[in-house]
Amino acid sequence: MIMKFTDNQEFKALLQAKQKDIQQRTSDGVQETAQFQKMRTLLSGCRRKYEETDYRLVIISKGELQSLSEQANEFVEQLFKEPTFITNRTVKVNSRLEIIDSNNDPFPEENNDARRYFTLISKDSDLICFLIDPDSTINYFIDGNEYGDGIFYTSSSRKAYEELKTIDKLEEVLEDYRKTLRIQDTYVKFFIPKSQIKALKTFKGEVDISDDKYIQNNKHLLRNKPEECFREDIRNYIKRHMRVVVYRELMMENLDRLDIELLDETGRDLYFLEIKWVGQCINADGNDYGTKYTTSRVNPDAVIQVLGYINQLLEEDQNIKIGYLVVFDARKDDSPDTGVDIKTERIPDELKKHLHRYKKVDDFRVVNINPR
C-alpha cells in the first residue's frame, strides 16, 4: 500500500498548480518588485501587531503600487488605526496607503466562492488584491490569478475547519455517529421500504396475514447487499466531521481491501475501519429472504480478519495505529453485542501479538422504528 505519487492525481494537480504559479510569477513580474514585497511585508507585520478576528481585503492599483511611498512604513501604521479601515471589510488605497474607497459588504461564505470573488476583482482595471488573514497570512490576487499560502478566505470556512475533529478524537466521532442512527432519515436508508415488504408478502403468498402485521414482522429486513450502504454512510459522516484523509476500499499489496482507511493531517498515522453487519437482507430479486448473518460472522472470523490486516500493514511498513471492527446490528431481536467473549483460542498465534492494536466498537444498533 505504498503511495505511488506518479499515480496520485491530487499530487499531479499540485505539481501542475505550482508550475503554473512559477510561470505566472516570472511572466508578470509585479509580485517580484521591491514595492510589492514591501507592501506584502508591511500588511502582514501590521496584522500581527494589530490583531483582528476577521479577514480584510486591501486593494491597490498596479500604478499606485509602483509608486509606493518611501514612507509606507509610517503610513501602514496609520492605515490600520484608521476607523474606516477597522469598520470596513474592503478598502482601496493609494500609494500613500490612504483610503480612497471602502465598503463593508460581506464576503461570500463558501471558501471557493470567496476565492472566485477576489479573483474576479483582480481582473478589473489592473487591481491587486491583498487578502489579510487574522493570523497575518497574506493571499494576493493579480490579473485573475491567486497566490499565497493561505487555504481559507473567510472566517466561516476557517471556523468550520477548526471545528473538525482530529484523528485522536475518532472514537468520539463514532459515538456521535451512533446518535444519528436513531434519526429516521438515517436508518431508513438501510432497510427495504414498506412497498417492497408488501411485494414480498405477495411473492411469498402470505394471504392469511394483514399488510400491517406483515410489515411489522419484516421491517427489520435490510436492502440487498447492505454493507455498501453502511460503509458509505459512516464514511461520509467521518469526512464531514473530521480533519482526516478518508480512503474507501483501499487495496493492500496482497490485494485485500480495507473498507475505510483514515490518515491524519500529516499523512503518516494510519487507522482503518472494517465494516460488518448482522441481521437479514432481502435477496437480489426482491422476492425472498436473502443473506442472514449472525454473531459467528464476527466472532472470531471478523476479529481474525482485522488482525490479519494489521499484520499485513506492518509487513508493508505502514504506520498502522489501530484497526477498528465496526458492526451494524440489524437483528430482529435485541441480542448481546457481537464482540462479547472473543474466542481468542481460535485466533492464530502469529496474530495474537497484534490484539493491542485491535478495537471492537460497540455494535451500532439499527432499528427500523418507523418504516417508510
pLDDT greater than 90 at residue 247: no
Place of cell 457481537: 338
Residue 248: pLDDT band (50, 70, 90) is confident
Query: Do 329 and 278 contact (CB within 8 A), yes or no?
Result: yes
Q: Helix 72-81 vs helix 34-49: angle between axes, to the nearest 10 degrees? A: 40
Residue 15 pLDDT > 60: no
Average model confidence (pLDDT) across the chain = 90
pLDDT band for position 256 (50/70/90)? confident
Q: How far apart are CA 143 and CA 129, in angstroms?
A: 10
CATH number for the domain whose boundaries are 18-157: 3.40.1700
Q: How far apart are the first and last CA of the chain?
A: 42
In order of 119, 212, 291, the CA distances from 196 in angstroms are 52, 13, 17
The segment(s) of the chain belonging to CATH 3.40.1700 are 18-157
Q: How far apart are CA 322 and CA 270, in angstroms?
A: 7
Report pLDDT for 19: 52
Q: What is the pLDDT of residues 47-77, one digit of tens each?
A: 999 998 899 999 999 999 999 999 999 999 9
Of 98, 104, 102, the C-alpha closest to 78 is: 98
* Structure confidence at residue 6 as a pLDDT band (50, 70, 90): very low
Yes or no: say if 257 and 251 are a contact pair by the CB < 8 Å rule.
yes
Mean predicted confidence (pLDDT) in 17-22? 51
User: Which amino acid, 326?
Assistant: V
Q: How far apart are CA 365 and CA 10, in angstroms?
A: 37
pLDDT tens-place string over residues 141-151:
999 999 988 88
pTM summary value: 0.71
Dihedrals phi, psi of 2, to nearest 5 degrees: -70, 135
Q: Which position has the higher pLDDT, 32 or 171?
A: 171
Residues 220 and 215: their CA atoms lie apart, in Å, by: 9
Vertex 322: Cα angle to 321 and 325 (nearest 5): 160
When pLDDT is cut at 50, 70 and 90, the band that residue 3 belongs to is very low
In this predicted model, what pLDDT tens digit does every residue of 209-235 receive, in sequence order?
999 999 999 999 999 999 999 999 999
Q: What is the pLDDT of residue 162?
A: 83
What pLDDT, on the 0 to 100 scale, is given for residue 251?
A: 77
